[in-house]
Amino acid sequence: RQSGPLLLNYGTEDQCRRYLPQIARGECFFSIGMSEPNSGSDLASVRTRAERVSGGWIVNGTKIWTTDAHRNHYIITLVRTEPPSHNRHAGLSQLLIDLRGEGVTVRPIKNLAGGEDFNEVVFEDCFVDDDEVVGEPGNGWAQVTSELGYERSGPERFLSAFRVLVEFVRAVGNEPSPGEAALIGRLASHLVTLRRMSISVAGMLQKGGSPVVESALVKSLGNDFEKLLGERVRLLAPPGNDRLEKCLRQTLLHAPSFTLRGGTREILRGVIARGLGLR
C-alpha cells in the first residue's frame, strides 16, 4: 500500500530491483516504523537514533504499535540521524531494516479484542548497511508525510466494515422495508463518495502531489462511515442471521481501533483545520 510507492518515489534502482518484484508477487511484506513509546501522536518526537559507522548505521531505539511486524519481513523505520535541533523535522531519515536481522526484537501486543496485530519492535545495536537508506538522509520528514497520504486515503480506511453491508443486503433480501431500503441507500451513497475521494487522492499522489489535507479527510470521513455502518445496521438487522451477526460482532468489537490507525481523529482534524486556514 505505501512501502511500494515509497520505494518507487525515493528508493534507489538497486532497492527497487530487489524489493518491488517480491512485493508484486506477494512474497515480501513491509511494516512501518513510525510511532514510539510515550510519544502519543507526536510523530516528530523521534528518539530512535541511527549513528554513522563505517559502511552503514547502528540503530538503537524502540517502535510501537507496528502492525504485523511479527509476520512481515522488513520495516521502513523513521530514525534520527542528526542531533535534535529547534527544527524537530530536520535530521530524520528512513532506513529499511530486516525484521529477522541481528539486533531486532519483535514483541506482539495483545489487544482488547484478543488479537495480536500490533507489535513493539526494539533495535539494539542493529547494523544497517548504507544501501538500505531510503531516499536522502535528513529528508525523512518529507518522505513520511507523503507516505501518510497512501496510508490515510486507501480504500481499507472505509472498507474494513464493508462485509457488514454485504451481509445486511443479503439478509433483507429483494423486498426490504422502507427503513431498510433507506439505510442501504444512505450507506451506499456514502461508500461511493468515499471511493471517489480515495481515487482522487490516488491520482494526486501519482502526479507527485502531496495531498495531506485530502488524505486526512478520506480517513476521517471513512472512520465515521465505518462506525455509522455498524451502529445503524445493528438497529435494523433481521434476527437469526448468523453470518450477519458474526460480521456485526467483529465490526463493533474492532470499530474503536479504526480511528487510531494512521492518525487519531484529533490529529486528522488538526491537519484539516490547518489546511483550511482555521489554525
Catalytic residue among 151, 167, 180, 214: 151
To the nearest 10°, report the CA torsion of 19, 23, 26, 31.
Answer: 100
More confident residue, 192 or 254: 192
Strands 118-129 and 56-63 come out as antiparallel
| pLDDT, tens only, 123-167 | 999 999 999 999 999 999 888 877 777 777 777 778 888 999 999
Give the model's confidence band at 264: pLDDT under 50 very low, under 70 low, under 90 confident, else very high. Answer: confident
Tell me the average pLDDT across 44-65.
Answer: 94
Q: Which of 58-67, 83-92, 201-210 is predicted with the least confidence, judged by mean pLDDT?
A: 201-210
HSE-CB at 76 with a 13 A cutoff on CA atoms is 25
What are the residue boundaries of the structural domains of the chain, listed by start? 2-138, 154-276
pLDDT digits over 155-170, tens only? 777 888 899 999 999 9
What's the pTM?
A: 0.78
Give the pLDDT band (50/70/90) at residue 235: very high
The stretch 60-81 carries a mean pLDDT of 95
Question: How many residues in total does the chain contain?
Answer: 279
The cell for 172 is 433483507
Taking residues 13-17, report their average pLDDT: 95
State yes or no: is 266 an active-site residue.
no
- CATH architecture, domain 2-138: Beta Barrel (2.40)
Q: Which of 236, 260, 257, 259 is nearest to 248 (CA)?
A: 236
Decide if pLDDT at 116 tops 80: yes
Measured CA to CA, the distance from residue 246 to residue 271 in angstroms comes to 36
Q: Give the class (CATH, top level) of 154-276.
A: mainly alpha
